[in-house]
Amino acid sequence: MNIKQIAKAAGVSVATVSRVMNHPETVAPKTREKIERVMKEAEYKPNWFAQGLNFNKTKTIGIVIPHMLHSSYMEIAGGVEEVARMKGYITFMCNVEKDKKMEREYISQLIMRRVDGIILMFSSLDEQHLAQIDSEKVPVVLIGENQENSKACSVKVDCRDGAGEMIAHLLEVGHRSIGFLCGSDPQQEAKEMLTGYRNILKASGLKADEDMILRTENSIEGGYISTKKLIATKLPDAIFATSDEIAYGAIDALKDSGYKVPDDVAIAGFGNNRMSNLIEPKLTTVELPFRKMGIYAARILFDLIDGESRDDKQILLRPRMRIRKSCGHKERIGEMF
């Protein structure tokens, strides 16, 4: 069967069948289900290549990911794919392994393959490289902070406010000296968190102790090594890490040195990875809406692909705290979530 025969069998117009294949969210559920049932019974498979020639679209998008082994990046990608599937698109995932040159090469390959749009996750591209993509008329949406690319459409989380809220909580619990383990990736997010840390201490009449601010790799090993350095120089009441992985390493280092968490030193992280509610003690952390970031970015991208204008080109999402045992809060209201 062809599309005209599908439309006749379903008792709708060819345009309605076309919308089901290209923009299913615009068709009433009952009508969409009826058309999809007819297509399934007829074992109808659209010729996407031919459609691409007709509509100048390939029904594909690219997702450029810093590292596929990072669970939060994959959760974001899952949100993108959820929307892409609804739109009848497939995705090309490109793992750039945090390599700037590899990122540029993958983007060139995606453009050569005529993808309809690209999502860049925590990109290292500057304004010049984004302008080159724009010159190819390929819509782009950024996920995550990128200070140099403020004009591009983007979805990011208010990391400064999230870190500040956690520091305020640690102060409220009674901790006065708070160490800060600053991961190197994503770089701009870590800078925002450090600003939030400094702002809250200043607002509370406290001065940040530079000896307790250590920069480290965004990994369990990085957290372990940097915490060992803190132990050797100046042990704080609490430690805030810019990622949950760093926080896991900090907990291990404290345990190996004979300290108890949170009795001797409280720990808080950032991200709310799945393991954070399973380790002992359960990790107090700032939860980021990873899947929602992907969903929002995909919606913006498809609006751009469809030629629709948007007033909200930059979307800023709010994180929220998950209070668990590691920070020393006695009630731990958020531990059940």
Model confidence band, residue 274 (pLDDT cutoffs 50, 70, 90): confident
What pLDDT is recorded for position 97?
Answer: 86
What pLDDT is recorded for position 43?
Answer: 79
Give residues with Cβ within 8 angstroms of 180, minimum separation 6. Answer: 194, 197, 208, 212, 213, 214, 239, 240, 242
Q: Is the pLDDT of residue 53 over 80?
A: no
What pLDDT is recorded for position 282?
Answer: 95
Flag the least confident range among 100-104, 146-150, 172-176, 317-321.
146-150
Q: Is the pLDDT of residue 335 over 70?
A: no
Flag the least confident range among 89-93, 125-129, 139-143, 254-258.
125-129
124: closest CA among 103, 95, 151? 103
Q: Where are the domains of the chain?
A: 3-46, 56-158+291-319, 159-289+321-336
- The secondary structure of residue 153, as a DSSP letter, is E
Rounded to the nearest integer, the mean pLDDT of the chain is 88
From residue 131, give the alpha-carbon distance in Å to each of 81, 151, 160, 168: 26, 11, 28, 40
Intrachain domains 56-158+291-319 and 159-289+321-336 with the same fold: yes
3-state secondary structure of 80: helix
**Rounded to an integer, what distance in angstroms lies between the CA atom of residue 193 and that of residue 174?**
21
Flag the least confident range among 28-42, 50-64, 75-89, 240-254.
50-64
Residue 40 contacts residue 78 (beta carbons within 8 Å): no
Q: Between 119 and 150, whose confidence is greater?
A: 119
Q: Which CATH superfamily is domain 159-289+321-336 in?
A: Response regulator (3.40.50.2300)
Q: Between 185 and 267, whose confidence is greater?
A: 267
Residue 180 contacts residue 213 (beta carbons within 8 Å): yes
Q: Is the pLDDT of residue 267 over 90?
A: yes
Report the percentage of the chain scoring pLDDT > 90: 60
What pLDDT is recorded for position 148?
Answer: 56
- Dihedral class, residue 43 (left if φ above 0, else alpha if ψ from -120 to 50, else beta): left
What pLDDT is recorded for position 48?
Answer: 55
287: closest CA among 273, 297, 275? 273
Q: Is the pLDDT of residue 100 over 90?
A: no
249: closest CA among 225, 282, 224? 224
286: closest CA among 226, 246, 256? 246
3-state secondary structure of 92: strand
Q: Is the pLDDT of residue 123 over 90?
A: no
| pLDDT tens per residue across span 189-198 | 889 999 999 9
List for the chain the helix, strand, coil content (%; round to 5): 50, 15, 30
Q: 156 pairs with which residues across the strands?
A: 316
Model confidence band, residue 238 (pLDDT cutoffs 50, 70, 90): very high
**How many other C-beta atoms are found inside a 10 Å radius of the C-beta of residue 167?**
26
Q: Which CATH architecture has domain 56-158+291-319?
A: 3-Layer(aba) Sandwich (3.40)
Which runs of consecutive H residues, i.e. helices, occur in 12-67?
Answer: 14-22, 29-41, 48-55
200: closest CA among 226, 230, 178, 227? 178
